[in-house]
Amino acid sequence: MNSEQLFGSNLVAMVTPMDARHGVDGSSLDRLVEHLIDTRCDGIVVAGTAGEAPTLTDTETAGLIESVAAKANGRARVIAGVGTNDTASSVERARRAEAAGADALLVVCPYYSRPTQAGIVAHCVAVADATDLPVMLYDVPARTGTAMDAATLVELAGHPNIRAVKDAKGDLFEAMSVMSRTSLDYYCGIDELNLPYLAIGATGLVSVVGNVVAEQNGELIYLVRDGDLVSARRLQSRLLPFADAVMRTSQGAIMAKVALHAVGIIDYAAVRLPLVESPQEHVQRLTATLAHLPTRSIAART
């Protein structure tokens, strides 16, 4: 089974809807999952960075995975974020995610501890060994403080369960180099660079803006695969103002919730501390971009 079958190609880093008291909002969660599937998302990342994973309890995380898996019911892959900076905790989260119905795991490079590359390898192997689920590594040095070296990725590619990388490093040359030396599939984890990653051979996207524009992201993937880079550039240029408003104002998870609330998918844009809700000028900037999003057209391709 190839990575697209294991993870999907048009993945969304799903936010965790919360109510006015900052508890998980089950009714908004159900609507959000249905919205993502309706807009051609084929992989839902649960309890990742955009899902505010560090503020979720183990019980909440397992409940989220179980709820999303039940709602998706095989219509989209469910990829559970299980990475922490503690290997034993990550292993336990992986096992709980498997029991809760996850189809795959997302494992972030351990943060805060800043392990050596040998420590990163040992950590990722321990988590990959914990279940039979396929693993997508998450390389995001801006958040973790440590990047996965190319040699580390090449070594980890030898593990039978480690199949893909969510790359939020932004080093396109390294990505091409690792893809040429391994069977790892790459997924772009930087919405501003979706088109360049697809153009160099990425299998797909793990997108925060996809919470609202998954169908347009799917169209971008289609156009690149079809070799129509002129149309792909045109579409990407129309998506950039929205991506800029979501990813380059206060914070991606915060602004994705603002956008989802604005279009009526979730009831509240609430986030948990240390995140705080966006100032009004950011909200106004984002909502102004919503009116200019390109019309969804991927339905005509299927």
Peptide bond into 274 cis (omega under 30): yes
The one catalytic residue in 166, 186, 222, 257 is 166
Size (the chain), residues: 302
- Domain residues of the chain, as ranges? 3-301
Question: Is position 166 annotated as part of the catalytic site?
Answer: yes
In terms of Cβ atoms closer than 10 Å to its own Cβ (0-12, 13-18, 19+), residue 268 is middle
Instruction: Please report the pLDDT score of residue 1 as a whole number.
Output: 75
Tell me how far apart the alpha carbons of residues 128 and 156 are, in angstroms, rounded to a whole number: 10
- The one-letter amino acid at 292: H
The one catalytic residue in 71, 112, 138, 222 is 138
Residues of the chain with pLDDT under 70: 296-302
Neighbouring C-beta atoms of residue 166, cutoff 10 Å: 28
Q: Is residue 271 within 8 Å of 253, Cβ to Cβ?
A: yes
- The one-letter amino acid at 141: P
Q: Which helix (H) or strand (E) holds 10?
A: strand 10-13
Is 3-301 a domain of CATH 3.20.20.70?
A: yes
Instruction: Please report the pLDDT score of residue 296 as a whole number.
Output: 60
Tell me how far apart the alpha carbons of residues 108 and 151 are, in angstroms, rounded to a whole number: 17
Instruction: Please report the pLDDT score of residue 30 as a whole number.
Output: 97
Instruction: Please report the pLDDT score of residue 195 as a whole number.
Output: 98
Instruction: Please report the pLDDT score of residue 300 as a whole number.
Output: 44
Instruction: Please report the pLDDT score of residue 295 as a whole number.
Output: 76
Distance from the first to the final alpha carbon of the chain: 22
List residues bridging with 278 in a β-sheet: none
Helix, strand, or coil here: 113? Answer: coil
Q: Is residue 267 within 8 Å of 287, Cβ to Cβ?
A: no
Question: Is position 169 annotated as part of the catalytic site?
Answer: no
Count the helix, strand and coil residues of the chain and give each as a percent rounded to the nearest 5. Answer: 50, 15, 35
Tell me how far apart the alpha carbons of residues 298 and 302 are, in angstroms, rounded to a whole number: 7
Q: What is the pTM of this model?
A: 0.95
Tell me how far apart the alpha carbons of residues 29 and 31 are, in angstroms, rounded to a whole number: 5
The backbone torsions φ and ψ at residue 71, rounded to the nearest 5 degrees and listed phi first, read -70, -40
